[in-house]
Structure formats: C-alpha cells, structure tokens
Amino acid sequence: MYNSFLLFKNNIADVKGLSEVHRYLEATISSPFSFDDLLRSQIVYSVSAFDKLMHDLIRVGMVQIFKGARPPTPKYLAEPIPMELHREIATATFPPKEHLFENAVFNKLKIISYQDPSKISEGLSYIWNESQKWQKISENLPFSDKDMKVKLKLIAGRRNSIVHEADIDPVTLQKYEITQTDCDEVTEFLYSCGSEIYKLVS
C-alpha cells in the first residue's frame, strides 16, 4: 500500500503546482482573461488524486486478503464472483491466481467513484472491518466525523459543477466565484483525509 500512498503524494504535489502557476500568473501578467480555471482544475485533480488513492488501497487490500496476508472482512467474504472467474482462478498457473483476482477487482471497482463519504465507507469495508470509520478517521484530524462528511459532499458537489456544468450558475449564467485560498484548503483537506485513511488501513 505504500506505493499507492506515494503515488497519491506525488499527485497532490502536482496539484499544488497548479496553485503556484495561478499565483504567478496573477502577480506577473496583466490580462483581460481570468486564470481561475487553473483553480477549478486544482479542485478536479485534488478529488481525482483522492479517488485514485481509495481505489488503489481497496484493490491492494483485497489482493492481500486473497493471498492470506490480511484478515478477510464480512463484506469481502460476501462479495459474489462469476462462476467463470472462479473456474479461471481455480485452474490458473500463469498468470498467477492473484493477478486474475486483482484484474477482476479493478474491473469491478473502476466504475465506482469514491468521493461521497458513504461510498468511501462502503468501499473501505472490503478491507477494513470498522463500524465507525469516519469517527476513527477524524480522531487525529481537526474535524469531527460529521464535519468531514459534510466537507467531502461539498467538495464533490463543486467538482461535479466544474466537470458537468462548466461551474456556471444557472440563474446568472456566470461562473461561480472561486478563490485560491478555498482551493488550497480543498487540496490540504483531501490530502489529510487520504493520509489518515492510509495509516488506518495499511
């Protein structure tokens, strides 16, 4: 799981670069055009980095369970698999059984977005048998579990507004206001949240 977290850290570092570019352009270039879409990109890529981390942790954790290196959770044990996949895994010599299993997990999870707190909790149940996940996650962070859930929903909502609606207010037909401070807070929050989840499940 360490490699998954390292990739997450690198992705977040790249995201922070967008903020630096925006800060530089605003300070040095006089232009009639706004550079604020860089900030919108920062929100989108911050959410993407977090979503990617959740997918990777869940996939790697499930493979660890499959290989006997991690105790199974009730959700893992209750997950149905097609009989054809069972046959392929049971008879596999090359590629290894765990490779076939990991590929099946990847294909199953790739259509799921781990941005909403309930979806994140549901996904983590494959590898983490903890009934009060958000309470655990929030213990070492300056947020309550309820505040974390609300903040995640708001971040996902803003990301969806940017991606699906061009971040345009349907009443005024103008783009919603966005600030560098708000975007930096989103990035830092998602990094803290992802880091804490990694510590708890690794």
Number of structural domains the chain divides into:
1
CA distances from 183 to 45, 85, 112, 176, 187 (A): 11, 43, 24, 13, 6
10 by Cβ neighbours in 10 Å (0-12 / 13-18 / 19+) ranks as exposed
Structure tokens at 181: 């401070």
Q: What angle do CA 156, 77, 51 make, to 5 degrees?
A: 20
Q: What single letter denotes the amino acid at residue 16?
A: K
Do the Cβ atoms of 201 and 128 come closer than 8 Å?
Answer: yes
Distance of alpha carbon 21 from alpha carbon 15, whole angstroms? 10
59-72 pLDDT per residue, tens: 999 999 999 999 99
Which amino acid is present at 123?
Answer: G
CA distance 94 to 81: 20
Domain that holds residue 173: 2-201
**What would the two tokens of residue 197 be?**
């989840």
Q: How many angstroms separate the CA atoms of 25 and 23, rounded?
A: 6
Query: Tens of pLDDT along 25-67?
Result: 988 888 778 899 999 999 999 999 999 999 999 999 999 999 9
How would you write the pLDDT of the chain (202 residues) with one tens digit per residue?
A: 999 999 999 999 999 999 999 999 988 888 778 899 999 999 999 999 999 999 999 999 999 999 999 999 999 999 998 889 888 888 888 888 999 999 999 999 999 999 999 999 999 999 999 999 999 999 999 999 999 999 999 999 999 999 999 999 999 999 999 999 999 999 999 999 999 999 999 9
Closest CA to 46 of 196, 185, 199: 185
Asked if residues 134 and 145 have their Cβ atoms less than 8 Å apart, the reply is: yes
Residues 58 and 1: their CA atoms lie apart, in Å, by 9
**Phi and psi torsions of 191, nearest 5°:** -65, -45
Angstrom distance (rounded) from CA 120 to CA 103 = 20
